[in-house]
Amino acid sequence: MNVLAINGSPRKKWNTATLLEKALEGAAAQGAETELIHLYDLDFKGCTSCFACKLKGGKSYGKCAMNDGLTPVLGKLAEANAFLLGSPIYFGTVTGEMRSFMERLLFPYLTYTRPPGTLFGRKIPTAFIYTMNVPEDMMKELNYPVHIGLNENVLGRIFGQAESLCSFETLQFEDYDKVVFSYFDAEERRERHRTVFPEDCRKAYDLGVRLADMSAAEVKK
């Protein structure tokens, strides 16, 4: 059983990466082999609309024809039993790297049929972990749930199952005194990181356990 996590944050040891690591710990506790991949380590582009993945009888039908740093990662995901995506929210959406990755991951499997279908030949559980600066009530006012729901919907349609986990009011800086910052109270953020973020880590761990259990159940079918 193989569970992968894709980090769409430029930081390898901060909020998003930490939650992904906790989720993988949960999956590993259930016997899964795990791997964390950092998108910002890779040299790749988003979809170029070549449509090679849609050509009738084409050698790249159903898979991305581009060959770059993302190609081996897409190969691993094609064989995974479950996977998690993680990204901070920048200007109301995921990072540019994560968005480009999602284009390359999802579009080749999507069929231009009525209704749209999937070329992914089996069902696997997936999940998305989001970290963000804003509180939960502000997140709703800013319509973030629309974006989160769209991602959950397309992951579910392509791979069969998807869920989301959000971590709010995350700690942005190690030392707030070094930056111009008056948007929120810095000390409140530090306190929340000490008291609330550990609970988010527990939820991420439980998410990893859940994904591993669901993937094991799919393997047995």
Both tokens of 37, joined, read 């991949």
User: Would you say residue 219 has pLDDT above 70?
Assistant: no
pLDDT for 38: 98
- Separation CA 155–CA 95 (nearest Å): 17
Q: pTM value?
A: 0.93
Share of the chain above pLDDT 70, in %: 98
Instruction: Report, as an integer, the average pLDDT of 154-174.
Output: 93
pLDDT for 4: 97
How does pLDDT run across 59-108, given as a tens digit for each residue?
Answer: 999 999 999 999 999 999 999 999 999 999 998 899 999 999 999 999 99
CATH number of 2-220: 3.40.50.360
- Separation CA 86–CA 5 (nearest Å): 7
Radius of gyration of the chain (CA): 18
Helices 197-220, 15-29: axis angle to 10 degrees equals 40
pLDDT for 184: 80
User: Would you say residue 163 has pLDDT above 90?
Assistant: yes
Q: How confident is the model at residue 220 (pLDDT cuts 50, 70, 90)?
A: low
User: Would you say residue 218 has pLDDT above 80?
Assistant: no
Average pLDDT, the chain: 93
Q: Token pair 């974006």 is at which residue? A: 147
Please check whether residue 5 is in contact with residue 187, taking contact to mean a CB–CB distance below 8 angstroms.
no
pLDDT for 196: 93
pLDDT for 221: 63
Residue ranges of alpha helices (H) inside 129-185 are 136-141, 144-159
Closest CA to 163 of 215, 94, 108, 85: 85
Closest CA to 85 of 19, 14, 177: 19
- State which amino acid sits at residue 79: E
List, in order, residues 6 or more apart from 10 with CB less than 8 Å away.
40, 95, 97
Q: How confident is the model at residue 173 (pLDDT cuts 50, 70, 90)?
A: confident
Closest CA to 76 of 19, 129, 33, 111: 33
User: Would you say residue 40 has pLDDT above 90?
Assistant: yes
Helices 197-220, 186-195: axis angle to 10 degrees equals 40
